[in-house]
Amino acid sequence: MVTLYCSIFSKFHISFDYFKCLTVTPYKSLKTKASKQFTKKNHNPKPATKLQSLKGVSDNVDSTDIIKSKDLLWDFVKDREYLGNPSSTSSPFIDLPSPVNLKIFTDKHVAHADSCNSLNPVFDTVENLEASILSCASPNNQFEEWPKWTVEKKMWSFPINNEQDWDSESDVPFYEHVFLENHLNKDHLKCKPLASFLELVCNGLSQNPHYSVNDKKKHLEWFSKFFDDKISQINASVEEEEYMANLEKVSRGIST
């Protein structure tokens, strides 16, 4: 009889402990109960882990009406593990679908900055000037100085071309550079001193390779305008010189 009461009391005590673990303080009571059972069985001072203790205690409860603490705590531990290891492949989140392209901002008619030209030529001029200033540093050697001289027209470009930069003179024949007497005023040629002077001018211009035909014509036009109102003075000075020369001859003839 005594043994029967003891067995009933022990079973009641165990079920009461389980009920207390599931209702009042599940985490603390389960931990203490699991640790006691683990030490009695294995006699090992090393405490069991939280998951093992929760799993071992909750497996003994077979009732389906009670929410098991194992399920609640197991979900909690899963969430903690996921937060601690974000690189896990089993992600509970679902990727949102990509947004629909409304085609509002299109770049079909937009020109790139490299291909568009500025409407104001002043900016292009200033940009070229800044680039030339940056490149105008003193050259380190002769190889760097020669390209600079070529750009400044101080040196022939390679390969050598004797008609370099003759874009406007490419269709002009050679004889127009040499025979310039046709562009002189015929009235000026009647004055012998002026005619000899203009002949020297034409000879010098015909041998000048740096002037174009238009430049040579402008020189001759300037001389013709300059001597238009001075022909009478030139003729008077010539007559005076001739008169003085005749007087000198007469004086010498008398003296001899």
- Phi, psi (deg, nearest 5) at residue 153: 65, 25
Structure tokens at 207: 């041998």
Q: Which domain holds residue 233?
A: 175-255
**Residue 206 · residue 178 · CB < 8 Å:** yes
Q: Is residue 111 part of a domain?
A: no
Q: Kindly state whether residue 92 falls inside one of the protein's structural domains.
A: no
Which residues lie below 8 Å from residue 59, measured CB to CB, with a gap of 6+? 70
223 token code pair: 């001389």
What is the tens place of the pLDDT at every residue in 37-72? Answer: 555 555 545 555 544 554 554 455 455 556 666 666
- Does residue 160 form part of some domain? no
> Does some domain include residue 19?
yes
Looking at 84, 111, 139, the residue that finishes a domain is 84
Residue 138 has pLDDT above 50, yes or no: yes
Task: Flag whether 155 is in a domain.
Answer: no
Q: Tens of pLDDT along 183-241?
A: 898 888 888 899 999 999 999 999 998 888 999 999 999 999 999 888 889 989 989 99
Q: Are 83 and 75 in contact (CB under 8 A)?
A: no
Residue 83 banded pLDDT, cuts 50, 70, 90: very low
In a domain, 233, yes or no: yes
**Residues in Cβ contact with 232 at an 8 Å cutoff, skipping those fewer than 6 apart:** none
How many domains in the chain?
A: 2
> Last residue of a domain, which of 44, 62, 84?
84
Six-digit token pair at 94?
A: 């679902």
The single-letter code of the amino acid at 147 is P
In a domain, 142, yes or no: no
Of the residues 49, 67, 84, the one at which a domain ends: 84
Which pLDDT score, from 0 to 100, does residue 3 have?
63
The conformation of residue 182, written as its DSSP 8-state character, comes to G
CB 227 within 8 A of CB 188: yes
Looking at residue 84, its pLDDT comes to 47
Residue 81 pLDDT exceeds 50: no
203 lies in a domain?
Answer: yes
